[in-house]
Amino acid sequence: MNIKVPGRIPLLLVFAVSAFVLSQAFGQNVSAAIIKPYSVAKVISTAGTEYRLMYSEPGSLSEHNHFLSVIANAGAVSIRPHPGDDLNGWGTSWYPQPFFPGVVLQGAKVSKPVAVEKGITVKVTGTVSSGTKKGIGSFSVVIVFAYDKSDKKVSGTGTCDIKLPKSPSVLGLGDLNIYKIATNYLHNVPLLGGGTGDTGDTSEVDVFNGTSLSAWDLIANPSFFPQDSTYILSVNAAGQYNNVDTAAQGYDPIAAAYKPSVDVTYAAKNLDSQMIFGAIYDTSEETEFWQDNVGITPLILHTSSAKNYDFGVVFQSKASF
């Protein structure tokens, strides 16, 4: 029997938690429309369609900070922040689209971002990836991104709404993955300057469940799915100075770079939207600098009897130096 629990969680709680959590050259086929101080450039290439979010200091006619990219490729949408000054400071990605286990992300699209005086609105919509060609249900994620040049920080606030034709308990497709954070952690690799150690695009992953803050030990627990549920879940993939010596690994050398943090908070708007933390570190790829060997996927359990899930969303990314 499906039991729906009535009630809603006040949005005030969403913003209270948010306050806690928040305490290159253009390629071909580029078009841009500028609204000072924000602008959006659209780049079409073999990698897909990329929207480059730009910021210019008021009064500046030449300096444009490319602080975030939204990339749509074959129905998968990734958000990649670049809050710092390091030209190679691109690292962790956030895929805001929901999906069921064992699928290739598909069915998502990006509306043309809209630049206004205080930020840029990004809207990602589509179906929930489920292994079928068209996916099922629908989702909508709307975020307004802003950039603080002096603090080297990208901030975003918005909403996520997921609607399924039937509850996960009836669909039988497994747990519903709300989004994915993809990043890279390297273990026991040669480092520039000598020696071996750990590096990569992230140094650690911290989790806040509304009452307590903890760190995921990905070396000790490479597959980590604690079953305690929460209405508020913040995940912070901390930035890292990535100084892997790829030449010592037998590859072409790449420069060391400061990688930014990615911090995502989801706060449920109703009592049906409880989440658990879920993450996997692929130890078979622990020395492969080109792989997203860390996947973080907060979940709604397959036993859920609800069909609709609504969240307030807070995003933050800061330079690691």
20: phi then psi, degrees, rounded to nearest 5? -65, -50
Report how far Cα 214 is from the mean position of its chain's Cα atoms.
19
d(CA 170, CA 307): 10
290 vs 31 pLDDT, higher one:
290
Tell me the DSSP string of 221-289.
-SEE-----BSEEEEEEEEEEE-B-TTTTTS-----EEEPPEEEEEEESBTT--BB--EEE-GGGTT-T
Q: Residue 68: which residues within 8 A CB-CB, separation 6 or more? A: 52, 53, 79, 80, 81, 82, 145, 147, 154, 317
Does residue 108 lie within any of the structural domains? yes
In which band, very low, low, confident or very high, does the pLDDT at 155 lie, cut at 50, 70 and 90?
very high
What does pTM read for this prediction? 0.88
pLDDT (0 to 100) of residue 23 = 38
8 within domain boundaries: no
Percent of the chain with pLDDT over 90: 81
Whether residue 63 is contained in a domain is answered as: yes
Is the confidence at residue 122, as pLDDT, over 50?
yes
Q: Would you say residue 234 lies in a domain?
A: yes
Per-residue pLDDT, averaged over 163-172, amounts to 97
Burial category of 174 from C-beta neighbours within 10 Å (exposed 0-12, middle 13-18, buried 19 and up): middle
Model pLDDT for residues 271-312, shown as the tens digit of each residue: 889 999 999 999 999 999 999 999 999 999 999 999 999 999
Q: How many domains does the chain have?
A: 1
Cβ contact 96:81 at 8 Å: no
Mean pLDDT of 90-119: 95
Sign of CA dihedral 213, 217, 220, 222: positive
Q: Is residue 266 part of a domain?
A: yes
Residue 11 clears pLDDT 60, i.e. is over it: no
* pLDDT interval class at 8 (50, 70, 90): very low
Q: Average pLDDT of 39-52?
A: 94
Ranking 11-25, 51-65, 69-83, 247-261 by mean pLDDT, the lowest is 11-25
Estimate to the nearest angstrom the gap between the alpha carbon of 274 and the chain centroid.
Answer: 19
Asked if 194 and 171 count as a contact pair (C-beta separation under 8 A), the reply is no
Give the torsion sign (CA, 77, 104, 276, 221): negative
* Alpha helix (H) residue ranges in 86-218: 168-171
How high is the pLDDT of residue 26? 35
The answer as to whether 1 is a domain residue is: no
Give domain status of residue 303, yes or no: yes
* Residue 62 pLDDT grade (very low, low, confident, very high; cuts 50, 70, 90): low
Amino acid identity at 170 = V
- pLDDT value for 59: 65
Q: What is the CATH number of the domain that holds 84?
A: 2.70.98.10
Among 198, 206, 175, smallest CA distance to 103 is for 175
Residue 13 domain-assigned (yes or no)? no
Question: According to the model, what pLDDT value does residue 102 have?
Answer: 92
pLDDT given at position 18 = 42
Q: Are strands 119-128 and 108-110 parallel, antiparallel or unpaired?
A: antiparallel
Host domain of residue 203: 29-318
Confidence of residue 30 (pLDDT cuts 50, 70, 90): very low
Q: What is the pLDDT of residues 170-223, one digit of tens each?
A: 999 999 999 999 999 999 999 999 999 999 999 999 999 988 999 999 999 999
